């Protein structure tokens, strides 16, 4: 089992003829993801990487029965691309684009209200259910099928954690990058609820970082609703306040978003917080052994 994506997922790629879109569409197909089509306005009718290209998302969805759209569109157009995917009725939009203006994302979130659709990202490595489906840019081979759910605000730090787990023989049910931007789709709380329900997930690893209150909210949710154990790591104990640490959302502002407060909130809720990023894998292993 897994959450959100599995072997039944049918993906279209918005921006499939661009550099990033073309490269990663190919990688996804190689991993075994059912990529059924692509969208690039003006290039409809072509076959690219062995899949048909359409001018609009609506026609792509109607023609292929796709239920997920992966967006590799430049930041200036990505907000609009998300809305087009939402309008076309896909159940899940994964937006990989980094650098979308915040005000555009506010409009996107407004547009999504009341519609039955999930958004992952933007500024995310994507989502993977190992051995079944990968919608994103992560290297597939470091993952292994298994029973640990991973959710993260980061890219390479997630690969690091996945790699530690896989090398210890601990596989993953689903790994989700929620995105490094201040305004995103699915949150830690949304994913905790899904992992708690998923029969294929035994425990969750949460990789947070400075900025915002996503980890504090996850702590509250965990305390009130969860039985499965959660292990967390929070990056940025040494990050100075007021500076944006790479990700648009990774900033301590007005005293909100400090790593030490997040760690405090998580520990108070009963979540195991790992302080040393080199020890995340072994902490999970020890926890699984103790159960």
Q: Among residues 45, 50, 156, 169, which is the contact residue for other proteins, using CB under 8 A? A: 156
Stretch that binds other proteins, among 10-18, 84-92, 153-161, 265-273 (CB under 8 A): 153-161
Tell me the closest approach of the beta carbon of residue 34 to other proteins, in angstroms. Answer: 21
Q: Which two tokens stand for residue 165?
A: 């787990």
Q: In whole angstroms, how close is the CB of 61 to other proteins at the nearest point?
A: 25
Radius of gyration of the chain from Cα atoms?
A: 18
**Distance separating alpha carbons of residues 59 and 50, to the nearest angstrom:** 18
Choosing from 75, 89, 171, 264, the residue that interacts with other proteins (CB under 8 A) is: 75
Residue 41, SS3 per DSSP: coil
Are the beta carbons of 51 and 77 closer than 8 angstroms?
Answer: no
Of 66, 136, 76, 124, the C-alpha closest to 249 is: 124
By CB under 8 A, tell whether 233 contacts other proteins: yes
The CB-of-222 to other proteins minimum distance in angstroms stands at 17
Q: Does 258 bind other proteins (CB under 8 A)?
A: no
Q: Which residues are catalytic?
A: 247
> Cα 84–175–136 angle (5° rounding)?
40
**Quick one: 105 or 231, whose CB is closer to other proteins?**
105
Contact code string over 99-138 relative to other proteins, x by CB under 8 A: xxxxxxxxx-xx--------------------------xx
Q: How far is the CB of 23 from other proteins (least distance, A)?
A: 8
The answer to whether 236 touches 259, Cβ cutoff 8 Å, is: yes
What is the C-alpha separation between 21 and 14, in angstroms, rounded?
7
Instruction: Look up residue 253 and give its two tokens.
Output: 């502002």
Residue 236 found at the interface with other proteins (CB under 8 A): yes
Using the rule CB under 8 A, which residue among 114, 238, 289, 291 binds other proteins?
238
Structure-token pair, residue 281? 């894998």
Q: Could you say which of 183, 193, 287, 288 contacts other proteins (CB under 8 A)? A: 183
The string of DSSP letters for 84-114 reads HHHHHT-SEEEE------HHHHHHHHHHHTT
Q: Which of 8, 240, 289, 291 binds other proteins (CB under 8 A)?
A: 240
CA distance 182 to 176: 17
Binding-site ranges for other proteins (CB under 8 A) = 23, 27, 75-76, 99-107, 109-110, 137-139, 141-142, 152-160, 163-164, 180, 182-183, 207, 209-210, 212-213, 217, 233, 235-240, 242-250, 254-255, 275-279
């Amino acid at each position: 089992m897994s959450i959100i994506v599995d072997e039944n997922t049918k993906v279209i790629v918005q921006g499939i003829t661009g550099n990033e879109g073309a490269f990663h569409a190919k990688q996804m197909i190689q991993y075994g993801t059912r990529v059924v089509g692509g969208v690039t306005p003006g290039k409809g009718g072509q076959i690219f990487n062995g899949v048909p290209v359409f001018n609009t998302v609506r026609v792509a969805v109607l023609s292929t029965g796709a239920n997920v759209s992966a967006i590799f569109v430049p930041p200036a157009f990505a907000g609009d691309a998300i809305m087009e995917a939402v309008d076309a009725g896909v159940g899940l939009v994964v937006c990989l684009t980094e650098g979308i203006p915040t005000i555009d994302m506010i409009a996107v979130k407004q547009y999504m209200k009341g519609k039955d659709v999930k958004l992952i990202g933007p500024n995310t490595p994507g989502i993977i259910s190992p051995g079944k489906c990968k919608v994103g840019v992560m290297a597939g081979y470091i993952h292994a099928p298994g029973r640990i759910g991973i959710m993260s605000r980061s890219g390479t730090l997630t690969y690091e954690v996945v790699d530690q787990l896989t090398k210890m023989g601990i596989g993953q049910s689903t790994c989700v990058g929620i995105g490094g931007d201040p305004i995103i789709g699915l949150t830690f709380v949304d994913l905790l609820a899904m992992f708690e329900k998923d029969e294929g997930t035994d425990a969750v690893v949460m990789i947070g970082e400075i900025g915002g209150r996503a980890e504090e909210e996850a702590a509250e949710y965990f305390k009130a609703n969860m039985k499965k154990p959660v292990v967390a790591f929070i990056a940025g104990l040494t990050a100075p306040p007021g500076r944006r640490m790479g990700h648009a959302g990774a900033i301590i502002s007005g005293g909100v978003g400090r790593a030490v407060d997040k760690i405090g909130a998580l520990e108070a809720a009963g979540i195991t917080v790992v302080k040393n990023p080199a020890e995340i894998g072994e902490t999970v292993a020890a926890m699984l052994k103790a159960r």
